[in-house]
Amino acid sequence: MPEPQTPELQTVGTDIPKTPKHTKEAASQQETTAKVQPSVPKSQTEVKIPSVDQQVQMWEPSAISRKRGPILPGLVSTEPASTPYSLEKAEITAPLKVDPQKIVVMAKFDGNQRVLKVGVSSGFFVKTNVLGGQWIKRLNLKGITAPNMAVVPITEAGLDRVLKGLDAEDSTLIRESLAKVDSTQGQSVGAMVSDFAPGTDVEQLVDAPRYADLDEYKNPPKTPEAATDAYVKMLEKTARKSPLGKTLPAARKPPFGGSDGWGDELSDQPPAQGPGFQAWLKDQDTFVNELDTASNISRAMAKYKLQVHLAKLGAPLAQKAIASKMDIIVNQSPKFKKWLGTSTGRDAVIRQICLDVIIGQEDRLINFQGGNFKFDLNQNTLVDTDNGSKSVDPLTAHDLTQPLPKYEAWLDNIRGSGSLPEALVQKLAQGELGPDLATVKLANVRAILKQVAKEADKVARLNPKEDGATAMIDRAAKIQALL
């Protein structure tokens, strides 16, 4: 089994809700340039996933721990149950996305690469995500899958180990937000491990044509001199005048500089050729690679352009990032779009939105969020990595005699004044996949929704002891009643 490559420091995504006006701004939730997909061994060891009620995992701030003064003040665990993973044994290998509220990293457990996610004050979503993923796998619908997912217990020592595997600045920020977790406000810390999902985030596949349109893509610098010039030009400070005509200090053009200092560490002063130049280049390569472009498409594009220039100069991280982007633009994105144009592809997307309606994941196709699923072009399959970042209701077991007020209200909200299938047709047409989907027919959506609800009911009845089975049966019935 080949050792998986470690991806360089890269941020990956955020679930930033898109407003219609700023769709493309938010679309850049995917890191667009230095996205080198870590390669992962083909045959991952199957992991026996304990049911979620076996996996006691949430941490809550408590008076006891405050008195005790633990490493992470304010947190104490319920008894951890058996799970194949332990945070205490995690070896963080590369960050995927780290912010004060969320840690998504590649990590090795007993030598196997996995994806570890820690929700700092939103442990609730972690559990929802795992349950959703487990049901998606069980349902085994054509063209849709999810990686194996499991909730992991959080211990002080485990969290400490994870924090030590991050860079110092991130770990300080996360420690600060951990100290603020407040169970009286319904907050908790939760962690999950999933298998590394193959494929490319759909967000990147739909964004590819915008990059293909750029001058830097169509007409990259032909010589190292041209590349250096272009790099410097992007970063050079220019004189400015205030609206009243007063001269202001020279500043960098947007999106560089500004109040948050994006790209401040970059230098537009390359030394002459020689060792000095090589040292400068190495620094620039690292700094640019680490630029965070979450939720800002103009920054993502700027980062890509800088990397085109650095790649021409031989910078290894930039070369890797550009090669990966090229593969997406030239190979993956066209194949994905072609698949969307076939009835197999279109029906899989319809099936996906119907599945999202059942598991309650709003942020994928109901409100388009392409960072929450991937397309695996070897299997022609959608891979659902995130089934709970914005979820209506946990699938956790509840009493069948109780109504599902939240879920029903959510369905009503999606439906608006029309029928549920009509609403889904509209969501698909308005989403970013809309232009690439061959016409979506109402009758087709209705038929697929019926099949998915039927299948959900059947599979839930076959697995009555699994957490969420009751909710699945209930929801399937609610949906069937609307058809």
Residues that bind Mg ion (CB under 5 A): 15, 372, 386, 389
Binding mask 293-312 for ligand ATP (x = CB under 6 A): --------------------
Which residues, in sequence order, are CB contacts of 165 under 8 Å at separation 6+? 90, 91, 92, 105, 107
Regarding 15 and contact with ligand ATP (CB under 6 A), the answer is yes
Residue entry with tokens 């990293």 = 105
Q: How far is the CB of 444 from ligand ATP (least distance, A)?
A: 29
Q: How far is the CB of 193 from ligand ATP (least distance, A)?
A: 9
Which residues, in sequence order, are CB contacts of 187 under 8 Å at separation 6+? 61, 121, 122, 123, 181
Nearer to ligand ATP, 183 or 389 (CB): 389
List, in sequence order, the alpha helices (H) in 341-468: 343-359, 405-415, 420-430, 442-462
Binding mask 129-148 for ligand ATP (x = CB under 6 A): ------------------x-
Residues in 362-381 that interact with ligand ATP by CB under 6 A: 371-372
Residue 25's H or E segment, with its range, is helix 23-27
Q: Which of 12, 76, 90, 162 binds ligand ATP (CB under 6 A)?
A: 12
Regarding 14 and contact with ligand ATP (CB under 6 A), the answer is yes
Q: Residue 311: name the closest of 303, 321, 326 by CA.
A: 321
Q: Can you tell me the distance from the alpha carbon of 4 to that of 466, in angstroms, rounded to the nearest whole number?
A: 33
Q: How far is the CB of 364 from Mg ion (least distance, A)?
A: 9
> Residue 8 binds which entry of Mg ion, ligand ATP, none, with Cβ cut-offs from 5 to 8 Å by kind?
none
* Residue with the CB atom nearest Mg ion in the bound state: 386
DSSP state of 331: I
Residues in 62-121 that interact with ligand ATP by CB under 6 A: 96-97, 102, 104, 115, 117
| Spatial contact of 449 and 424, defined as CB atoms under 8 Å apart | yes
List, in sequence order, the alpha helices (H) in 219-331: 224-235, 275-290, 297-312, 316-327
Nearer to ligand ATP, 221 or 431 (CB): 431
> Residue 385 binds which entry of Mg ion, ligand ATP, none, with Cβ cut-offs from 5 to 8 Å by kind?
ligand ATP
Q: How far is the CB of 249 from ligand ATP (least distance, A)?
A: 36
> Residue 102 binds which entry of ligand ATP, Mg ion, none, with Cβ cut-offs from 5 to 8 Å by kind?
ligand ATP
Which residues, in sequence order, are CB contacts of 387 under 8 Å at separation 6+? 128, 129, 131, 132, 133, 136, 146, 359, 361, 372
- Using CB under 6 A as the binding criterion, the count of chain residues that bind ligand ATP stands at 20
Nearer to Mg ion, 372 or 391 (CB): 372
Q: Cis check for the bond before 20: say yes or no (omega within 30 of 0).
A: no
Regarding 127 and contact with ligand ATP (CB under 6 A), the answer is no
List, in sequence order, the alpha helices (H) in 313-418: 316-327, 333-340, 343-359, 405-415
Neighbours of 45 (CB within 10 A): 14
> Residue 115 binds which entry of Mg ion, ligand ATP, none, with Cβ cut-offs from 5 to 8 Å by kind?
ligand ATP
Q: Which of 7, 8, 10, 13 binds ligand ATP (CB under 6 A)?
A: 13
Q: Can you tell me the distance from the alpha carbon of 423 to that of 433, in angstroms, rounded to the nearest whole number?
A: 16
Q: Is 217 in a helix, a strand, or coil?
A: helix
Q: How far is the CB of 386 from ligand ATP (least distance, A)?
A: 3
- Which string of b and e fits 414-451 if b means at least 16 CB within 10 Å? eeeeeebbebbbebbeebbbeebbeebeeebbbebbee
Stretch that binds ligand ATP, among 20-28, 316-324, 384-392, 405-413 (CB under 6 A): 384-392
| Spatial contact of 92 and 220, defined as CB atoms under 8 Å apart | no
Q: Which whole-number Å values give the CA distances from 231 to 228, 240, 254, 291, in the listed order?
A: 5, 21, 14, 15
> Residue 133 binds which entry of Mg ion, ligand ATP, none, with Cβ cut-offs from 5 to 8 Å by kind?
none
Q: How far is the CB of 122 from ligand ATP (least distance, A)?
A: 8
Nearer to Mg ion, 100 or 220 (CB): 100
Residue entry with tokens 């549920």 = 420
Q: Is 280 in a helix, a strand, or coil?
A: helix
> Residue 370 binds which entry of Mg ion, ligand ATP, none, with Cβ cut-offs from 5 to 8 Å by kind?
none
Q: How far is the CB of 164 from ligand ATP (least distance, A)?
A: 21
Stretch that binds ligand ATP, among 8-16, 71-79, 159-167, 206-214 (CB under 6 A): 8-16
Q: Which of 113, 134, 188, 389 binds ligand ATP (CB under 6 A)?
A: 389
> Residue 303 binds which entry of Mg ion, ligand ATP, none, with Cβ cut-offs from 5 to 8 Å by kind?
none
Q: Residue 365: name the closest of 437, 427, 446 by CA.
A: 427
Regarding 123 and contact with ligand ATP (CB under 6 A), the answer is no
Nearer to ligand ATP, 12 or 288 (CB): 12
Stretch that binds ligand ATP, among 156-164, 189-197, 211-219, 280-288 (CB under 6 A): 189-197
| Spatial contact of 94 and 6, defined as CB atoms under 8 Å apart | yes
Which residues contact ligand ATP by CB under 6 A?
12-15, 96-97, 102, 104, 115, 117, 147, 194, 196-197, 201, 371-372, 385-386, 389
